[in-house]
Structure 1
Amino acid sequence: MKATIWHNPNCGTSRKTLAILEETPGVDVEVIEYLKTPYSRAKVAQLIADAGLTPADAIRKMGTDAEERGLPDMAPDAILDAMAANPAYVNRPFVETEKGVRFCRPQDKVREIL
């Protein structure tokens, strides 16, 4: 099974999620460091929707100026535009497999799609 993780190596939850993926037999892991290889707007919209979230649910507030900029109160399309322009506004980690997409907070949520 292929699993793709949108990863930030500086994030403990992201590292723990990646470790679960790497330790699971039969999982071929693709790691995308999204701060180096940003999301397309279409991809971030698809991940958020497939995870059952709204763009407002997926905003990373800690360590960003998202709240100061009023991002949580913006229209969904405006939030997605901001996320595509600055991937730091996307909370992490997201993991996608053939079984679906999960926003892996806590990291054990990844097991639902393995």
Structure 2
Amino acid sequence: MTTIYHNPACGTSRNTLAMIRNSGEEPVVIEYLQHPPSRETLVKLIQDAGLAVREAIRQKGTPYAELGLDNPALTDEQLLDAMLAHPILINRPFVVTSKGTRLCRPSEAVLEILAHPQKGTFIKEDGELVINAEGQRVASGK
């Protein structure tokens, strides 16, 4: 079973969800802004993805600066408190599969942990071809 912590307003999150579906799987979709993870779940997502807490915080379009979260003296516990109080600070999308957990930025990172190959062509919202008609990954031109 695959789970995506999704923000439908985020293009990266939408592209990631579409790639999961392009593999023939319908994931559990958790819109984390409406249904934030518990502290325990958030800690597990971050640890399982091999990230430091600070690496899992989204800065752009969030109250990151206003809350002073760039202060290097803040502890992981304080950063987690902020993420739980303001779920928009949780970077996205986190995806959990039987093959691992990833923060899928860029969205193609999800390909590393999907249980099934892509079923056909996949083009990101910005027009970038990621998967060709044979279901093979295409080298990024970026």
Q: Which runs of 5+ in 1 are unaligned?
A: none
Name the counterpart of 1:19: 18
Structure 2 SS opposite 1:71? coil
For each residue in 1:26-75, what CA deviation from the matched residue of structure 2 results, as whole angstroms up to 9, or x when unmatched? x2410000001111111111101110111100111111111231223321
Q: Map 1:1-114; keep pairs closer than 5 Å.
A: 2-25=1-24, 27-72=25-70, 73=72, 74-114=74-114
Q: Give, in whole Å, the separation in 2 of the partners of 1:40 and 1:55.
A: 15
Q: Which moved more, 1:69-78 or 1:6-15?
A: 69-78
Q: Give, in whole Å, the separation in 1 of the partners of 2:39 and 2:84.
A: 5
The alignment yields a C-alpha RMSD, in angstroms, of 1.0
Name the TM-score, length of structure 1 as normaliser: 0.93
Residue identity in the other structure for 1:59: I
Relative to total residues, which structure has the larger helix share, 1 or 2? 1
Q: Give, in whole Å, the separation in 2 of the partners of 1:55 and 1:48.
A: 6
Larger RCO (CA within 8 A; separation ≥ 6): 1
Structure 2 SS opposite 1:96? strand
Q: Give, in whole Å, the separation in 1 of the partners of 2:9 and 2:77.
A: 28
Name the TM-score, length of structure 2 as normaliser: 0.75
How many residues end up aligned between the 2 structures? Answer: 112
Q: Give, in whole Å, the separation in 1 of the partners of 2:53 and 2:101.
A: 15
Q: Give, in whole Å, the separation in 1 of the partners of 2:65 and 2:53.
A: 14
Larger C-alpha radius of gyration, 1 or 2? 2
Q: Is the 8 A contact 1:41 1:83 kept in 2?
A: no
Structure 1 SS opposite 2:27? strand
Structure 2 SS opposite 1:38? coil
Instruction: Report runs of 4+ in structure 1 exceeding 4 Å deviation.
Output: none
